[in-house]
Chains A and B, each alone.
Chain A
Amino acid sequence: MELLINIFVNGLATGMLIFLLAAGLTLIFGLMDVLNFAHGGLFVWGAFAAVWTYTATDSFMLAILGALLTGVVLGFVTEKLIIAPVYGNHVQQILITLGFMLVLTEMIKVVFGPNQLAAGVPSYLAGSFEIGDVILIKYRLFIIVTGFVVFALIQFILKRTKIGLIVRAGVLNKDMVQALGIHIKKVFLYTFIAGAALAAFGGALMAPYSGVVYAEMGLEFGILAFIVVVIGGMGSLPGSLFAAILVGLAGSFMAYYVPDLSLAVNMILMAIVLIFRPQGLFAARG
């Protein structure tokens, strides 16, 4: 029982981290019809920015702020330089964002050095709760709670604010939104920046969780996020949450019970979805 709960909590925490990445990715696709394979690059920049800030200031709050700021700046630059020239062309989007992903990964090594960095957990989130036999690691619970809070926050913004309303309308019919006098390119930019900031935030939370950060984790997690978005249905936020938790749990249970298959399980899940239901489990449109 105790073991099951541990595996479950672990999987849920991993799932929530992936969700933070996937949320931006799926919104960007849903609204802008853009495939951003550089999303993992924003994540890893967030992770390094947070670790660097944390080491320098010893403040977890500042570390998260640093990551968010990095995400916002990079998101702005990426949208303007990389995404804007290739609106409407999926193949070009795949190609160019993949190239940018390589650049972002290598730039990490230039700025922060080629080696991995160790990341610490702030003291107030270190340690664990013991409830009877069950030991719950605080930081994991923190991630899980944060994940749900972020989900609720995004849902609130989408459902209750004007900009959220415009985003939902834009997902359904971009032309009409423009014909109603709304500057959709600007909304695109904001959405992209928000998605980038979320990715960077995910990176910041990831760092203490995994204990180290390294440049290649951008591609790893970027692919994982894409898998989640595909499984959940591109453009669907609840779909991404569901799929992220599914992937997180499948990964942690497999790692314990069938370790040989744990590497393959995400690929298998995605392959099954793509073959039998390419629009994903929660189709956002059509």
Chain B
Amino acid sequence: MAKALSLHNGVYLIIALALIIFPFVTESRTWTILLTQIFIFAILAMSYDLLLGYTGIVSFGHAMFFGIGAYSTGIFLKSFEPTLLYFILSIACGMVLAAIVSFFVGILTLRLKSHYFAMLTLALSGLFLVAAEKWRTLTYGNDGFTFRAPEIFQDRLVFYLVALGCLLASFVFLKRFVSSPMGRVLISLRENESRTASLGFKTLHYKVIASVAAGVIASLAGSLYAISLRFVNTSVMTMDITLDALLMTIIGGVGTLIGPILGAGVIELAQHYLSGLARENPIFERWIILFGILYILAVIFFPRGIAGGIQSLYLKLRGKKVGVHRSLKKRVVKS
């Protein structure tokens, strides 16, 4: 067990190192920007996975927290000075705001059943979107506003490393979070809420903590996103952002953390290439159909997405004995 674990960590470490070295060995500006984008959305998707994969709740309002982060950073850097200090302060401010909002939203919504929860989160994030549209003195509504990023981010490489650092930090934080006793309660909640409740756990309490953690991380992603564009408008609060996170999480693999990262990579890359191809043949503009179908297949047939697929392939290669034994055990318990 311990050996397998360190093997895992070793693989992660190698990948992380490769990503750190990557921009120093290539000159490609496109790749640097593309990877940065992937890192940002990977952070968002991971935070969504904490809700969907580890707590078993479908939120339609995750964009709300992404938007809070994006607006905090945008407004800070525009109103004050575009320095690193204000950048860090803006992230902190976004996170605190997101924590407060997600706390109250969680208290209001998490006692409801799945679909009512989904609809109430949709309503609340819808209200945030309207607020962002109407509070024009602060947000400039749908037109949005541009702002200057701190000097140091003029170098795309620096921002790449910052985004990567945030991704790694979020990953480690979330990994710890889900493997803590607290995370185990969440998982058992997902498996069987009433049983967990009957064991004496205050389920609402745990769900609220998860939603605060998810909200805070999503806000971080939003802050980085704003910097990457040097522009914010209401699109950061729209359902599209939530749908992106959902797509990435499901295709990459729900409940795995590494899955959402893979999902973000696959979708961003494909989007990049397919929209390039679209210049030759407009059918490629409809790339979302492909992902929609993949997503549907994933929900029905591969509930653990790419990451789950890789994992079971790995287990198979490791020798049939273990694999057969495990699947048998599962079948007996489940059916």
**Which residues of A come within 8 Å of B, CB atoms?**
35, 82, 85-86, 90-92, 94-96, 98-100, 102-103, 106-107, 109-110, 114, 219, 223, 226-227, 230, 234, 260, 263-264, 267-268, 270-271, 274-275, 278
The reply on B266 being an interface residue by CB < 8 A is no
Given A94-B58, A103-B293, 7 further pairs, Cβ under 8 A: A91-B114, A99-B295, A107-B286, A267-B122, A270-B119, A274-B123, A275-B120
| Contact status B130-A271, CB under 8 Å | no
Measured between C-beta atoms, what is the minimum distance from A91 to chain B in Å? 6
| Contact status A264-B246, CB under 8 Å | no
The reply on B93 being an interface residue by CB < 8 A is no
Interface residues of B, count at CB 8 A: 39
**Complex partner residue of A270 from B120, B293, B295, B299, CB under 8 angstroms:** B120
With A90-B115, A227-B119 known as contacts, the answer to whether A267 contacts B127 (CB < 8 A) is yes
The reply on B229 being an interface residue by CB < 8 A is no
Measured between C-beta atoms, what is the minimum distance from B224 to chain A in Å? 26
The reply on B23 being an interface residue by CB < 8 A is no
With A95-B246, A102-B243 known as contacts, the answer to whether A278 contacts B112 (CB < 8 A) is yes
| Contact status A96-B292, CB under 8 Å | no
Measured between C-beta atoms, what is the minimum distance from B218 to chain A in Å? 19
| Contact status B118-A94, CB under 8 Å | yes
**Which residues of B come within 8 Å of A, CB atoms?**
56-58, 108-109, 112-116, 118-120, 122-124, 126-127, 130, 133-134, 239, 243, 246-247, 250, 282-283, 285-286, 288-289, 291-293, 295-296, 299-300
| Contact status A223-B130, CB under 8 Å | no
With A98-B243, A109-B286, A110-B286 known as contacts, the answer to whether A264 contacts B296 (CB < 8 A) is no
Minimum CB distance partner of B131 in chain A: A264
With A98-B243, A102-B243, A271-B127 known as contacts, the answer to whether A110 contacts B283 (CB < 8 A) is yes
Query: Which residues of B lie under 8 Å from residue A96 when comparing CB positions?
Result: 296, 299-300
| Contact status A106-B127, CB under 8 Å | no
With A96-B299, A109-B286 known as contacts, the answer to whether A226 contacts B126 (CB < 8 A) is no
Minimum CB distance partner of A94 in chain B: B58
Minimum CB distance partner of B130 in chain A: A264
With A267-B127, A267-B130 known as contacts, the answer to whether A274 contacts B116 (CB < 8 A) is yes
Query: Which residues of A lie under 8 Å from residue B300 when comparing CB positions?
Result: 85-86, 96
